[in-house]
Amino acid sequence: MDVKVYMHQPEGFHQGPHNLVCQLDKAIYGTKQGGRMWNQKMHTVLEKLGFKHTYSDSAIYVFNRADVRIILPVFVDDMTLASTSTSALDQAVKDLSLHFKLRDLGPTSYLLGISITRDLSNRTISLSQHQYTLDILERFGMKDCKPVSTPMDPGLRLTKDMSPKTSSDAALMKDIPYLAAVGALMYLATTTHPDIAYTVGVLARYNSNPGLTHWSAVKHLFCYLQGSLNHSLVLGPDPNSTELFTTFSDAD
C-alpha cells in the first residue's frame, strides 16, 4: 500500500477487543488503490521480464528479442499470449508464474465474454459473442422477438423532435432502460459486431432524453441481433486478394 488504510476486523475473525481495527499491508480487492497498485506491480514485473507496452495502447505489451516476438494484452488480471514460438510462450508462462499465481488455460478459446475459434488451415480467427447476445436479449425482454434483416428501419430517421415534450411522456420513459440497453449494445458494437456500430452511434445521441420512437429503434436492433446470432467476426487474409491491406473510408 502506498498510503495507510484501516479496516474493521472481518466477521468471524477477531483478535483482541472488537473495537480494534486492522491496518492493511496490501491493496486488497475492493480498496480504491487496489486497481492502480495491481497495475503498477504487473507493469514492473513485465518490464523486468523484457516486455514493453506499446505507445498506442498501454495495456498491450510486446517482447522482442532476436527472432522471438511475444504480444501480451492485459485486461486487469486476465491476459493472453500470442507468438509464433511455442517454446517462447512456455517460457513466458514459466517466468510469469514466478511472480504471480497463474491458471494456464491453454490455447485461448474464450476471453472477456468472446468466443475465439482458430482455423489454422485458412489462417483465420473468428470472434463471437453468441452467449452475450442471448443474455442481453433476455435481459431486455427480447429473447422471443421476431428477427429482422437490418439494424435500423431503412425508412426511419431519428431526431430530437421524437424526444418527450411533456412531463407525462418523460415520466413514462423513466421506466424504460434505454441507457442500459444502448450501453450493452455499444459493447457489442465495439468488439465483435461492427455491423451495428452506426445504428448504436445514432441511438446514443438521444441517451439524455430518449422517446418511445427511439426505444422502438433499440428494439428493432435487438430483433436484428436475434437474426444474426450465429454471425462471427472473421479476421484473416482474403485468399482471392493480391492486396496486403484493403481499407474503407466514409466521410459521413
Could you tell me the mean pLDDT of each successive run of 10 residues in the chain, 252 residues long?
Answer: 84 79 85 86 94 92 92 90 92 93 87 90 93 96 95 93 89 92 96 95 95 96 96 88 79 62
Asked whether 3 and 36 are in contact (CB, 8 A), the reply is: no
DSSP secondary structure string for all residues of 147-187: P-SSSS-TT----GGGS--SHHHHHHHTTS-HHHHHHHHHH
CB atoms within 10 A of CB 67: 8
Q: How far apart are the first and last CA of the chain?
A: 49
Structural domain spans, the chain:
6-106, 107-252
Work out the widest C-alpha separation in the chain, in whole angstroms: 76
Q: How do the residues of the chain divide into helix, strand and coil, expressed in percent and rounded to 5?
A: 35, 15, 50
Q: What pLDDT is recorded for position 60? A: 95
Residue with cell 495502447: 57
Strand partners, 52: 62
CA dihedral 32, 30, 44, 113 (to 10 degrees): -120
Q: For residue 127, which of 138, 141, 142, 117 has the smallest C-alpha distance?
A: 117
Asked whether 18 and 9 are in contact (CB, 8 A), the reply is: yes
Q: What pLDDT is recorded for position 203? A: 97
Instruction: Give φ, ψ of 125 to 5 degrees.
Output: -125, 130
What's at 223, amino acid-wise? C
* Rounded-to-integer distance, Cα 186 and Cα 143, Å: 18
What's at 197, amino acid-wise? A
What's at 70, amino acid-wise? I
E strands, the chain, in order: 6-8, 21-23, 51-53, 60-65, 68-75, 78-79, 82-83, 110-111, 114-119, 124-128, 233-235
Q: For residue 152, which of 200, 111, 89, 192 has the smallest C-alpha distance?
A: 200
Q: What pLDDT is recorded for position 252? A: 59
Q: What is the pTM of this model?
A: 0.76
Q: What pLDDT is recorded for position 59? A: 92
